[in-house]
Structure 1
Amino acid sequence: MSYLIWFSSHNKYDELKIIELKSLLETFGYYCNISLNGEELNLKKNKYAGETYIKINKLKENVSIENIWENALSRSILIKGVIEIWGEGYTYNELLANLKAKNDLFESTLNNKKWCFHFHAYGKIINQEEKVKKMDMFNIYVEKYKNIDILNPHVQLAIFEEYDKESKGILNKIYFGKCIALRKFNPSLIYNKDNNKHACSSNKKECDNCNNDVNEKKKVENNNRKTWWAHYALNKRRILGPTTTDNELAFIMCNIAKIKKGDIVLDPFVGSGGLLIASSVFNAICIGNDIDIRLLKGYKLSYLNPRMKHKSNKKTIFENFKQYNLNSPEILVSDNSNPVWNFFHKPWVDAIVTDPPYGNRATVRMSIKTEIPPKTNKIENENLRHITNDSISNNYVDALQNNSNYIGNSEATDNIIVSNSVAEPSNNDKMSKVKSLINTKTVTYSCALAVKDLLTIASKTLVDNGMLVFLFPVQFETMQEEMEILKHEDLYLISYGMQEFTDYSGRLIVAMQRKPRIY
């Protein structure tokens, strides 16, 4: 049996439709021969742009395919529906003749069940009168099934017409079949709808979460077409940060990473926690780290959502997890250029999903160690501060960026210590003042080096076949050269989809997979 996959129109993430579909099917145990766009990225001609569909064949006969499609669609951001194809043809006469041998399908599907038609046309607007005429053509097969219910059907029979995009009005093909799953008006496809109810032991009238949930419920009741992920939209979160991953993109990245219940997910650039919220919605065990404690603690950078009522002024990223009744992640303050993870242990991370900072609003930073002398005269201290903050930091970062042999662990950072050469303290003084002498500061370094560090962490911590999904900014003119950094001996490059920002720049949504280890 063949299936028609109906995609929604999404200008930002059209190139992610196929990889999200393939990843979700594999997540639920169904492997199919869906081909991606190919190795060469076509920036201007994406054949999956706009509202479109693809046809795939069933490979396994012993799989409960309907449950797999329903599970996949319940999590997908870019799929609108799945149709089981019963017949197809270039004309209605050809299609009707093709359905003559399918009477048993009509009997087993429609007998004693409420049903209706679902009509859709690609490339042309069909008025209601013409739709009814075309539906009536199938009366020879369905007229004996009288239990028709347009509002609450058990089964929907799909009629899909494909018109030529260039020559409007020319009918290319017609598909007929059973709707396995359609997102429109289908509450059963709302993912995790009952798992994030707020548990409140206080007076509900005084509870901010309860008040916000009531307002949200009223909005949902007034809008039946509301998608489940809109509940987690950035403008509905209690705490907002300066740069948070787009809500839809976060869920798409988690789908590509094949995250499922019980998986351990790591975000090495956790920031305001947007990607970990999406992972937690999928019931993953979340761990993250970031070098900037201000984001994690909410110092100056984070702020309260002005559209919501707030009983507390706490601005930590954990407040958003509490808002949705999600398990709080474990967060560390650490530097990815000098990882805190013990690489000699057995690999333990199922997926890494992250968005390395870049651009003017957020930069990648690394820490260096500087030692400040306990007592020097004022002139010496000023000179030392000038050397530490400017010369050493900038020269060190420049050396890293120009060093082609740099691996990624940045072990040289341990040796960057600025000391007073005038007087050397005794051993006792060193022991008593070692903590006060070491002052850790951060400096910026390139996004390319941050990606190298990320690939190193992924190769060491990911389990076999574990997924790494991250965002990688590129300039179109130098994109092929920049993508050379994605070649790693321990990782497969699975896919990369482009999201354009300007005519000359954009970012890749990169998916990589850990190669199985040979022991």
Structure 2
Amino acid sequence: MRDYLILFAQTHETFRKLELEALAELEQVSVDMSDHSEESPLLVVSLESEDAAIRLTRRAILVRSVFEVWGCGATLEELHEDMRRRTQDEWPKYKQESFRFDIISFQGSRTSSEQRQIMESFDFLDFQGPIRMRDAKHTFTVVEEYVPIPSADLSKSHHALAKMWFGRHIADGQRDIIAKYDLKKRHYIGTTSFDAELALVSSNIGLAAPGKLVYDPFAGTGSFLVGAAHFGATVIGSDIDGRQIRGKPKRNITTNFKQYNISAHLLDTFVCDFTHCPLRPSLLLDAIICDPPYGVREGLKVLGSRNKGRYADGQPTVLENGDFSHLRADYIPPKKPYHFDALLDDLVVFAAEHLVDRGRLCCWMPTANDKDEETGIPTHPELVLIGNCIQEFNKWSRRLLTYVRTPRGELPTAPVERRTYNEQFRDKYFRGFAKPTT
């Protein structure tokens, strides 16, 4: 076992640990992340080999880089001493190789002169290979972490050096692909197209991979389908709005897949009401990754009629020129209101029925930033909630809820408790999340 330093991106802090744990499961890498803190982008883990470090982070979206730790200390002198104790026997292997030095500081900075002095302090390594700022075979990095210190002057921030690491750069995550899938560059998007970075993160957390079947029942313009397909999964999507599924002849979900050269991973898309999903019960899915409609822009609806009298024993009775109206080519099926909490309850039931054992449901849920923000999280006796990551906005947030389907037979089947709320998210949204007046 050897220590490796993981440098996370300084964004989406609550998602980092869950994404890396998912990748550890996918790559079958044993890793202890108990020391992870959302306050710091640095994490030291013990791994079996350099190959394990590469496999763990090579498709991570929220990981910038990983380094093989050669030493650490609270001061430069302690760092040098620790390096001699840990890795002195390995230095000769890199003596004639091309190399470069780099310095990364978190919550602190160094002047160019200070950086140069730090680099020169490692002359005891006796590296004699050529220094190359580009295409060097090895990059040796000093990583510094500063912490805030109390100050009487609240208008000024003061930070002190807490720890330093010296390491050999091993690999980078896949943050470079965020720009590739940027919605601004995508041929076909809509008002509900999901942020590319978090769509990719959701796909990692959902364990999308070659040989996996991933379904999005609220596909829209296919953001999660594209993210899962990037990682090699076979994807299928549906939506109640046929306009988004069909798009236009030269701008639709299919053309997005062609744009990224991942068409082979798109199994199909179809139009359906999620509450009447045509997927047969025997079809088992490896993951369900979705962003259910919140019903903010317009009230959430499903197929059905508010007027029960228009139907008798489930049979349509509306006739036009002697023919049933639902058989006409221009027929538009009626819709009735559908509450978001009911949708989430139906979603967990659907997931329990259609996920393979240990399959994952990753769904996004909006919440108000108040004391009761977590009371509306749906539950199911055969699904275990393993992740509750939050993306905060001004007065509201959205959460990525991640469930794992327990192996069938391990838990007794129990009835699902339907949840009730005094207020709906949509009502709070349009009130500006202010308390209702009495």
Q: TM-score, normalised to structure 1's length? A: 0.70
Q: In structure 2, do the counterparts of structure 1 residues 298 and 348 end up closer, same or farther at CA, with 3 Å as the change threshold?
A: same
Taking the aligned partners of 1:119 and 1:235, their CA distance within structure 2 comes to: 33
Residue 435 (structure 1) shift: 6.0
The correspondence of residues 113-192 of structure 1 with structure 2, limited to 5 A, is 113-140=97-124, 142-166=125-149, 168-182=158-172
Structure 2 gaps of 5+ residues are 151-157, 411-438
* Matches for 1:213-292 after TM superposition, within 5 Å: 227-292=176-241
SS of residue paired to 1:262: coil
- Take 1:473 and 1:241, find their aligned partners in 2: how far apart are those partners? 19
Instruction: Answer yes or no: is the 8 Å Cα contact 1:279–1:286 preserved in 2.
Output: yes
On the 8 A contact 1:364/1:450 being kept in 2, the answer is: no
Change (3 A) 1:362 1:178: farther
Separation in 1 of the partners of 2:164 and 2:145?
Answer: 6
2:198 is paired with a residue whose SS is helix
Question: Offset of 1:496 from its aligned partner?
Answer: 0.8
Q: Secondary structure at the match of 1:99?
A: helix
Tell me the residue number matched to 1:333: 271
Partner of 2:433: none
1:30 and 2:29 aligned? yes
Q: Give the Cα separation in 1 of the matches to 2:384 and 2:84.
A: 47
Pair 363,91 (structure 1): closer, same or farther in 2 beyond 3 Å: same
Structure with greater strand percent? 2
Equivalence for 2:336: 443
Aligned 8 A contact 2:58 2:172 in 1:
no
Aligned-residue sequence identity (percent) comes to 27
- 2:399 aligned partner, one-letter code: L
Q: Give yes or no for the alignment of 1:507 onto 2:406.
A: no
* C-alpha RMSD of matched pairs (Å): 2.8
Q: Which amino acid aligns with 1:287?
A: I
- Cross-structure match for 2:428: none
CA contact 2:35–2:43 (8 Å) conserved in 1: no
Deviations 1:312-331 (A, max 9, x none): x5333222112222223411
Mapping of residues 242-391 of structure 1, within 5 Å: 242-298=191-247, 314-327=250-263, 328-343=266-281, 345=282, 348-361=284-297, 364-368=300-304, 390-391=306-307
SS in 2 for 1:280: helix
Q: 1:507 to 1:118 in 2, by over 3 A?
A: same
TM-superposed CA distance for 1:289, in Å, is 1.3
Letter in 2 for 1:106: W
Q: Which amino acid in the other structure matches residue 220 of structure 2?
A: G
User: Could you tell me which residue of structure 2 aligns to residue 218 of structure 1?
Assistant: none
Q: CA deviation at 1:69?
A: 3.1
One-letter amino acid of the counterpart of residue 91, structure 1: T
**Letter matched to residue 331 of structure 1:** T
- The reply on whether 1:105 has 2:90 as its aligned counterpart is yes
- Mapped to 1, the partners of 2:35 and 2:287 lie a distance apart of 21
Amino acid corresponding to residue 315 of structure 1 in structure 2: R
Look up the SS of the partner of 1:480 in the other structure: coil
Cα displacement (A) at 1:267: 0.5
Q: Kindly indicate whether the alpha-carbon contact (under 8 Å) linking 1:116 and 1:157 is maintained by their aligned counterparts in 2.
A: yes
Q: Distance in 1 between matches of 2:398 and 2:127?
A: 55
Query: Residue in 1 aligned with 2:436?
Result: none
Pairs aligned (count)? 394
Shift in Å, 1:54: 1.6
Question: Which residue number corresponds to residue 219 of structure 1?
Answer: none
Task: State whether residues 117 and 158 of structure 1, in contact with CA within 8 Å, keep that contact through their aligned partners in structure 2.
Answer: yes
**Structure 1 residue 147 displacement after superposition:** 2.9
Aligned equivalent of 2:424: none
C-alpha distance in 1 between matches for 2:122 and 2:187: 52
Q: Which moved more, 1:254-263 or 1:65-74?
A: 65-74
The answer to whether the 8 Å contact 1:291/1:365 transfers is no
Instruction: Please name the residue that 2:376 is paired with.
Output: 482
TM-score between both structures, scaled by the size of structure 2: 0.82
Map 1:415-454 → 2, pairs under 5 A: 419=317, 436=327, 440-454=333-347
Measured at CA, do residues 182 and 237 of structure 1 come closer, stay the same or move farther in structure 2, by a change above 3 Å?
A: closer
Q: Which amino acid aligns with 1:482?
A: G
Amino acid at match of 1:228: I
Match of 1:2 in 2: 3
Q: Per-residue displacement from partner, 1:197-230 (whole Å, max 9, x unpaired)? A: xxxxxxxxxxxxxxxxxxxxxxxxxxxxxx2221
Structure 1: which amino acid aligns with 2:285?
A: V
Q: CA deviation at 1:162?
A: 1.8
Q: Which residue of 2 aligns with 1:493?
A: 385
The amino acid that maps onto 1:14 is: E
Stretch deviating more after TM superposition (89-98 or 28-37):
28-37
Query: Rg larger in 1 or in 2?
Result: 1
Letter of the 1:88 partner, please give it: C
State the one-letter code of the partner of 1:119: I
Q: Secondary structure at the match of 2:134?
A: coil
User: Quick one: structure 1 residues 154 and 467, their matched pair in 2 at CA, closer, same or farther if it must change by over 3 Å?
Assistant: same
**Pairs within 5 Å for 1:21-100:** 21-35=20-34, 48-49=38-39, 52-58=41-47, 61=48, 65-100=49-84
Structure 1, unmatched stretches of 5+, are 38-46, 184-188, 191-226, 300-312, 369-387, 397-412, 424-428
SS in 2 for 1:275: helix
Given that 1:7 and 1:53 are in contact with CA atoms closer than 8 Å, whether structure 2 keeps it comes out as yes
1:99-136 Cα distance to aligned partner (Å, 9 max, x none)? 2232222223x144211222122221101111111122
Secondary structure of 1:104 counterpart:
helix
Q: Give the direction of change, closer, same or farther, for the CA distance of 1:337–1:275 in structure 2 (3 Å limit).
A: same
- Alignment partner of 1:482: what SS? coil
Rounded Cα–Cα distance in structure 1 between residues aligned with 2:189 and 2:79:
54
